[in-house]
Structure 1
Amino acid sequence: MIRYVLPRIVLLLVLALRCVGAIATETAIETDVCVFGSTPAGIAAAVAAAKAGHGVALIEPTDRIGGMLTSGLSHTDFRSFEALTGFFLDFSQRVEADYVKRYGADSEQVQAAFRGTHGEPSVNLRILQAMIAEQPSIQLIPRQSLHRVATTPFVGGRRRIASATFVDPSGQPLRVDALTYIDATYEGDLMAAAGERYHVGRESRQQYGESQAGDSEGRADGQVQGYNLRLIMTTDPANMREPVQPAGYDRADFLAVLPVLAIGKQQRVFASDHSGIFRAHFPGMPNSKADINDTPHALVRLSMPDINDAYPDGDPATRAEIVAAHYAYNLGLLYFLQHDTAVPEAIRDDARRWGFCRDEFPDTDGIPPQLYIREARRMIGQHVFTGRDTRQVEGDARAVWHRDSIAIGDYVHNCHGTGRTGSRFDGQHEGEFYKKVPPYQIPYGVIVPAITENLLVPVACSASHFGFGALRLEPIWSSLGQAAGWAAAIQIEQDLPLQAIDVQRLQQRLHADGSATIYVADVPPESADFAAVQWWGTRGGLHGLAPAEQPRPKSLGSQYNASFPGHFAELDRPVTEEVLAHWNQLLPEEPSPTPASASASETSSRRDWIRDAWLRHAR
């Protein structure tokens, strides 16, 4: 049995469990928008709602904002830089600017920051804190666990959240009365407490027609994708904190790794490829640091998909036990490989070149305070995102068109496994997949519940297990959070259920805020044509412009690549008769004549035509 002293984040959960209901006096606040969870999506939502002029209560269960972006996940998952827009692009540009200011534009740190997407957790934390501080209408309230959610009676098959009550570690309740609620937690706790339906685990192959769904027989099960720590480690002796033996450590728990090392299947402890147990992501991070992760398809893994199925619906004690087991295994295995004399000396010595960072996570001895929760609950909302939503259109370079898109994604469907056969050291993960798809759009219904009129869920969003594998990435969650913040503002303005707000108005707000609703490789958010091209592309105007067969994008190293061929607007190209005929079919009905407007036949380029159409029909 692996044991470990509970990290502080787990202790907070346990304290919340023990003291709920201990103090009867309740504090209450009123606000326009209540965001639960200061993950990147939660912060993006809070910032967007605040930009719209609304008061926001940003409620955080821990004492550290930023979710995984500030807890070890610094090797951000995306494929091309052109997919980064809106809040996350703003964040990454600020991170890069921070390194430029401190080290110089030509410094190694700026290069390693990879345009600000590989920032150190301490830098990411400082930038996110600054982004919150810029919005005085955001009230950040940390160390609050969800206690209960009060809802109104059903009317016409729907209801509203009337209030949400949270409790701090001392047992003090806080009731938040808001017009709109946004659940930005990884677990979807507020969504579940509001009574929304959700999935935990894999659906059957028949439910959504997905070949990757279900167990080996295609049946539904309760298996959830594996979790692990995202350690931040360094080879710089001046900044190194040597890992120490964790409390409750028993070397017998790790002896079974020795035969794996003896046969040479795992040649090193730390490696950027599949030869290591601890995956040191390449390229590295600034200041000789690396994001350490689970190694896909390796014999020995850091993720533990065989013990976390009870986590999503677990009470604080159950979750604390599961989290503690992950810390015990990940840190105990590290200590064993670095220090046990039974480990081959060459492997042991090479492993000891790595240590925790003195300048990261100082309050928890260099260890990230949060576990990487890849998947928990998944809401069953207005639109369930599945493999159909990323499927390439026949004869077209692009994926399925969504006119109600509120965000874009550019990654693969991926899962580090949902179960394990054999022991921790001589088996393999089940349910592991990595499937490449073109850049894709994400519909509004993915964040909208079925019955709750004033709740949005950008993280534990509506998706199948396979579909969720293409959404569960911080840049995408950030875009969904940004959309949720603006949607909340529109709901308050229109006084309508979130299921009935004007999605075109939401798209206009997102485009004005620099967030894309369709992938366009050559018209970035800073372009004067961004809003017009996004509007037209989201109407379907960019589909059908490039054939399905395209060369593979140029690799930039690791999972990153250059922009996707076939996904360019090419605004300087003339509008051909064929394109003109297609585009005219997509135009809305012509409004009253405007003498200053040019007719389509008078335009000389795609840019002129799209600008004219946008001015006449979208503004």
Structure 2
Amino acid sequence: MRRFLLPLLLLLATVLHAQEFDILVYGATPSGIATAIAAARDGERVLLIEPSRRIGGMMTNGLSHTDFRTLEGLNGSFLDFAHRVEAYYRETYGADSQQVRDCFHGTQFEPKVALSIFEKMIAEQPKITLRTEWVLDGVKNSSNGDGEGPATSRAVEIALLVDGDAQYHSVAAYYFVDATYEGDLMACARAAYHVGREAGNQYGESLAPDEADDQLQAYNFRLCMTRDPKNRVPVEEPPGYLRAGFVDLLALLLDGRIHGVFSTKPTELIKAQGPLPNGKYDINDMSKGLVRLSLPGGNDDWPEGESGFAARVVQHGAVAPFSRTGLRQSRDRVFDEHLRWDVGLIYFLQNDSAVPAKFRDEAREWGFCKDEFTDSNHLPMQLYVREGRRVVGEYIFTEKDTDCAPNDARAVLHTDAIAMGDYGPNCHGTSHEGSRFGGKHEGEFYKMVAPYQIPYGVLIAKGFENLLVTNAVSASHVGFCALRLEPIWMSLGEAAGHAAHLARRKHGILQTVSVPKLQDLLHAEGGSTIYVSDVLPGNSDFTAVQWWGTAGGLHGLAPTPATLGERGKNIFSQYYEAFPGHAAELSKPLDPALAERWEKLASSLNIDVAGLPKADGKTTRGAWLRAAWAARPS
């Protein structure tokens, strides 16, 4: 297998003339963009690198129906993005327009609109240098180890990248952030990572298999389609299409088990999520359906290629190169196989004479969008990589981190939280049993949980001083299936950007960053570290409530519900009203029992409780909390 190694003299020259930045972010995914913006706002010089020619990851490549449960859970950089989306549709079409209604508070959007907004967000930050079509070729590590096996402390110093013109670039930085879906940078830097599923007894997870394996959550494309004849282009036969691969579908269409083609019901074939603004739909895998767009097992070679990861085990201070050619070939093959299946299924339904007219006529009403992905034949440039490598970090997030605390409506407390989520572990399957038409995905699960907190340690590659990972974070397979959502990844990216800044300011390492100071930076920008349903970003009490809740002050206010993960009233689709039992209720009088508990917590935080209001029947929770916030040590 060919390896892309620089000749020694060229390597030395490149290293000597390295471009220098404070922070290098590899992957202009939403989390990578959030990382870069946070660090740039803090004053750091950031190089943001995207291997493809289109920034924005899946949010600009078809994932337009965003995964979250409640509007009250949206915060930080994703909420900023959503506000910009809603403002765009309001300013372009009018406040009472259908487009504004269909964008659902800015959380549903056209891919081209998402791209434009991300581009503007980056352009607003002069300290960000963006480079697209730059691909990682190797990194140089320094270590106080002996070069034989894991080092006790290791730092990434220089990244080698090749651009679209096959020119090499050497970039030195103080801190590095891997914001790829696959974890390419951290793997190339020889960080420890895991691919596949752990056995249930490893972390005590009910959703994990009995035995460990190398299975990954399945992938598919998130296509953007429409029924609008004015904006509809035909679905063309994909390269390599074979009719024989789809004829077994006919039996399902004839026996009555399939009722239609495009819908959100498992009795239909293809999940059409929307409508998005301007009559578009986000096309996705039909969970628990009889026919799936996802191909579990067909994506196993994506993270590392057919022969596994091709970085060499190298001596101290040497360069660890990718075999970019081999890895790219494997990923191209997986990409093409999914394209043949996903697009081929639609093409078959629209064009094959053996398809019953009922289904064929319905399918023909749909087409790709003329004004989306205009430079890639109206198809997304990225496959939906739901899971790749997962770094082994300072903390490993597992299913237990989404469990309720004892006798509490809230999930287990993490006082070092730097983000939160409200979706719950969900997996579209890791293998398939039986025919693709009527068989069953195995390893599929969807668990209801209360909103949960995410500790700082999931971001830090274990043993590395200056390497953060925002997408391929430290988690078990089951734990990762709760974290793998773009709003959460953007929160993690924002935290990574601020963490790198704090470490840089102190000339220190990531492990010694002050988490309370990191939380202060996040809260000041509307980032949540705990779910509070009635005090949202923009509220004057938001920072105080987030501080107090993350310290543990809001736990124990409501008991565990009879139904674990109980949600509010369904709004539509996967969206719900606020989780019950998660309100601060600041206007409620402070009762003596709660006052006693809060005073104990305040004392543990070095707050002089003698000067705080007493539970006299008139003092509210909010008045007490504001006083505690004002009295906290600086």
User: Which range, TM-score by smaller chain?
Assistant: over 0.9
Residues 1:573 and 2:583 aligned together? no
- Per-residue CA deviation, residues 381-412 of structure 1 (Å, 9 max, x unaligned), is 11110011010122111010100000010102
Residues 1:122 and 2:112 aligned together? yes
Q: In structure 2, what is the Cα distance between the partners aligned to 1:177 and 1:608?
A: 50
What displacement does 1:499 show? 1.1
State which of 323, 344, 364 in structure 2 corresponds to 1:332.
Answer: 344
Q: In structure 2, what is the Cα distance between the partners aligned to 1:465 and 1:484?
A: 22
State which of 281, 294, 297 in structure 2 corresponds to 1:290.
Answer: 281
Residues 1:404 and 2:426 aligned together? no
SS in 2 for 1:470: helix
Q: In structure 1, what is the Cα distance between the partners aligned to 2:292 and 2:633?
A: 51
User: How does 1:117-516 map onto structure 2 within 5 Å?
Assistant: 117-154=107-144, 157-214=152-209, 218-281=210-273, 283-314=274-305, 315-516=327-528
Check whether the contact 1:194–1:452 (CA below 8 A) recurs between aligned residues. Answer: no
Residues 1:66 and 2:61 aligned together? no
Q: In structure 2, what is the Cα distance between the partners aligned to 1:264 and 1:77?
A: 31
SS in 2 for 1:139: strand
What displacement does 1:18 show? 9.0
Q: In structure 2, what is the Cα distance between the partners aligned to 1:348 and 1:547?
A: 52
Q: In structure 1, what is the Cα distance between the partners aligned to 2:333 and 2:212?
A: 26
Q: Give the structure 2 partner of residue 617 of structure 1.
A: 632
What displacement does 1:247 show? 2.5
The one-letter code sitting in structure 1 at the alignment partner of 2:277 is P
Q: Give the structure 1 partner of residue 323 of structure 2.
A: none
What displacement does 1:534 show? 0.3
What displacement does 1:127 show? 0.6
What displacement does 1:514 show? 0.8
TM-score, normalised by the number of residues in structure 2: 0.92
Q: In structure 2, what is the Cα distance between the partners aligned to 1:154 and 1:284?
A: 55
Check whether the contact 2:62–2:223 (CA below 8 A) recurs between aligned residues. Answer: yes
State which of 80, 95, 98 in structure 1 corresponds to 2:85.
Answer: 95
SS in 2 for 1:164: strand
Check whether the contact 2:592–2:615 (CA below 8 A) recurs between aligned residues. Answer: no
SS in 1 for 2:18: strand
SS in 2 for 1:284: strand
Residues 1:532 and 2:522 aligned together? no
Residues 1:79 and 2:69 aligned together? yes
Residues 1:564 and 2:559 aligned together? no
SS in 2 for 1:115: coil
Unaligned 5+ segments in structure 2 are 146-150, 306-326
Check whether the contact 1:34–1:56 (CA below 8 A) recurs between aligned residues. Answer: yes
- Per-residue CA deviation, residues 221-244 of structure 1 (Å, 9 max, x unaligned), is 000000000000001000001111
What displacement does 1:594 show? 11
- Per-residue CA deviation, residues 515-542 of structure 1 (Å, 9 max, x unaligned), is 0000000111101111000000000000
- Per-residue CA deviation, residues 549-592 of structure 1 (Å, 9 max, x unaligned), is 27641111111000111100111111110101111111145769
Check whether the contact 1:202–1:213 (CA below 8 A) recurs between aligned residues. Answer: yes
- Per-residue CA deviation, residues 358-388 of structure 1 (Å, 9 max, x unaligned), is 1110011211111000000111111110011
SS in 2 for 1:31: strand
What displacement does 1:489 show? 0.3
Number of equivalent positions: 599
Classify 1:114/1:305 alpha carbon distance in 2 versus 1 (closer, same or farther; 3 Å). Answer: same
The one-letter code sitting in structure 2 at the alignment partner of 1:542 is L
Q: In structure 2, what is the Cα distance between the partners aligned to 1:20 and 1:158?
A: 26
Q: In structure 1, what is the Cα distance between the partners aligned to 2:54 and 2:608?
A: 56
Q: In structure 1, what is the Cα distance between the partners aligned to 2:522 and 2:29?
A: 20
SS in 2 for 1:249: coil
Q: Give the structure 1 partner of residue 315 of structure 2.
A: none
The one-letter code sitting in structure 1 at the alignment partner of 2:115 is L
Check whether the contact 1:229–1:327 (CA below 8 A) recurs between aligned residues. Answer: yes
What displacement does 1:427 show? 1.7
Q: In structure 1, what is the Cα distance between the partners aligned to 2:266 and 2:233?
A: 26
Check whether the contact 1:575–1:605 (CA below 8 A) recurs between aligned residues. Answer: yes
What displacement does 1:599 show? 4.3
Q: In structure 2, what is the Cα distance between the partners aligned to 1:383 and 1:39?
A: 23
Q: In structure 1, what is the Cα distance between the partners aligned to 2:597 and 2:343?
A: 59
State which of 25, 31, 36 in structure 2 corresponds to 1:41.
Answer: 31
Classify 1:552/1:52 alpha carbon distance in 2 versus 1 (closer, same or farther; 3 Å). Answer: closer
SS in 2 for 1:179: strand
SS in 2 for 1:423: coil
SS in 2 for 1:449: coil
TM-score, normalised by the number of residues in structure 1: 0.94
Root mean square deviation, CA, Å: 1.9
Q: Give the structure 1 partner of residue 317 of structure 2.
A: none
Q: In structure 2, what is the Cα distance between the partners aligned to 1:513 and 1:388?
A: 29
Q: In structure 2, what is the Cα distance between the partners aligned to 1:382 and 1:78?
A: 26
Q: In structure 2, what is the Cα distance between the partners aligned to 1:618 and 1:392?
A: 31
